[in-house]
Amino acid sequence: MHQSVKLRKFYPNDLQTVMQINRICLPENYTDMFFMDLYRRFPETYIVAEEEGKITGYIMCRIEVGLSNFGFSGLIRKGHVVSIAVLPQGRRKGVAKALMEWAMKGMLHYNAKQCYLEVRATNHAGVSLYKKLGFEISRTSHGYYSDGEDAYIMSKKL
Ligand SMILES: CC(C)(COP(=O)(O)OP(=O)(O)OC[C@H]1O[C@@H](n2cnc3c(N)ncnc32)[C@H](O)[C@@H]1OP(=O)(O)O)[C@@H](O)C(=O)NCCC(=O)NCCS
């Protein structure tokens, strides 16, 4: 990651900036209560990137109990990347990769064994990023998004 960028945990004061980055970068937007609920429950996996004192990106996640994405039987704890985005002017500096790496370390704090996420099948930047981090496509969820687009469910063991 570029030296000008620093990562730190999200604080409640960051809420409006993070919600604005979410609206600029993604069609999936959420209420302030949704953002704050994830912060209260999983602060270790809620990270922001700052460049020259301004937030340029964020990641927020949830820890869930569910079936393994790798075919083991039984229930396990999984880290779910709910949302990640970097402002256009902050991209291709390794920020998203670093945010993912921090969040995946944070998932270990909650004893998660795997990490997974949904990504639009046409989101070349996203799919490339996750492949670079060692994620595999577990399956396709047809019509997952509200506009009918398919999602890849991508997973990685922690
Ligand atoms: C996807 C996104 C988060 C990537 O953020 P970023 O900070 O630019 O990503 P990084 O700089 O950490 O990229 C790491 C690697 O991912 C891949 N990658 C990232 N953006 C890419 C692009 N536009 N095209 C191809 N590969 C890309 C590359 O392998 C890159 O490594 P490299 O720059 O050394 O080639 C950003 O483009 C974004 O916010 N997009 C809109 C929101 C979004 O799609 N979020 C993900 C939803 S699942």
CA–CA distance, 5 with 118 (Å, rounded to integer):
26
CB proximity list for 23: less than 8 A, separation 6 or greater: 29
Residue nearest to atom 19 of ligand 1 (CA): 125
At 1 the pLDDT is 86
The yes-or-no verdict on residue 132 having pLDDT over 90 is yes
Ligand 1 atom closest to the CA of 87, numbered from 1: 39
Residue 92 pLDDT grade (very low, low, confident, very high; cuts 50, 70, 90): very high
Separation of CA 56 and ligand 1 centre (Å): 13
Rg (C-alpha) for the chain, rounded Å, is 15
CB 40 within 8 A of CB 102: no
pLDDT digits (tens, 9 = 90+) for 43-86: 999 999 999 999 999 999 999 999 999 887 789 999 999 999 99
- pLDDT (mean) for 8-25: 98
The yes-or-no verdict on residue 125 having pLDDT over 90 is yes
At 71 the pLDDT is 81
CB proximity list for 35: less than 8 A, separation 6 or greater: 15, 18, 19, 60
CB of 133 within 6 A of ligand 1: the answer is no
- pLDDT (mean) for 96-113: 98
pTM listed for this prediction: 0.97
CA 32 to chain centre: 17
DSSP state letters, 76-111: EEEEEEEEEEE-GGG-SSSHHHHHHHHHHHHHHHTT
CB of 129 within 6 A of ligand 1: the answer is yes
Length of the chain: 158
Strand-by-strand arrangement of the 151-157 sheet: 5-9, 47-51, 54-67, 75-86, 114-120, 151-157, 136-141
In degrees and rounded to multiples of 5, residue 111 shows phi and psi of: 65, 30
Q: Delimit the domains of the chain by residue range.
A: 5-117
CATH of domain 5-117: 3.40.630.30
Helix axes 124-132, 95-109, angle to 10 degrees: 60
